Amino acid sequence: MSSTWSLSKLLANLHDDIEHRLAKVRESFGHSTTKGDASEHVWLEMLQTYLPKRYHAKKAHVVDSNGLFSQQIDVVIFDRQYSPFIFDYEGQIVVPAESVYAVFEAKQTINAGEVTYAQDKAASVRKLYRTSLPIPHAGGTYPPRPVPRIISGLLTFESDWSPALGTSLVEALEAGKGDRRLDYGCVAAHGTFSCDMTECYTITPQGRPATRFLLELIARLQSSATVPMIDIRSYAKWLAT
């Protein structure tokens, strides 16, 4: 008895599962904080399942070797192949700034307030200092890698705007410049948005947004290559003597 596989159906079903779970969260929970926590869990579980194992996705704070901390970030995608945790206790995670590839806020709906909130969160990470050491190899050392730009964005189920991904969204996104710029995001019920290096935004409606977001994110992570070699001794200066 033969069976027929369909890649298009597999990819569509991945999106449908994420959208359905986000919709159930919105329908099932009455408390806004509970809804928010459950929505974060849906996005985190997708990323933890489908990202290559060199990347981890967790809710976390980010710290630099100067002792400055970011705000708490809903979704931090960070390196675990070459970078240590700074702190991991009872579900509270702190990761070094050098290990961070991307940060996202996960909300029920997108609106001007949530875009501003995500922009502020992104800036709290990007302002942190990152070390980069020379990289030893068999024939000597490579020079320190320039630190890559940290990807940032916003993940939601719905939109408060009508149209959902129209001019109001673009205007809110374009208000974030420099460290506050959001690069990429997903509104699971409606589509995705992305920003190129000229800071021009592209809106992609429908097209199985959750799956499209995941595949494009992986492509962007690939282009970031590996995080810089962390100067872990620079963190040791904070040990009490």
- Give catalytic residues, as residue numbers: 74, 105, 107
Packed helices 167-174 and 112-126: angle between N→C axes, nearest 10 degrees: 30
Give the separation between CA 133 and CA 116, rounded to whole angstroms.
34
CB 130 within 8 A of CB 64: yes
CB 114 within 8 A of CB 108: no
Measured in degrees and rounded to the nearest 5, phi and psi for residue 139 equal -100, 5
**Contacts (Cβ under 8 Å, ≥6 apart) of 170:** 193, 201, 203
CB atoms within 10 A of CB 65: 22
Residue 233 Cα distances to 66, 102, 217, 229, 238, angstroms: 12, 24, 32, 12, 10
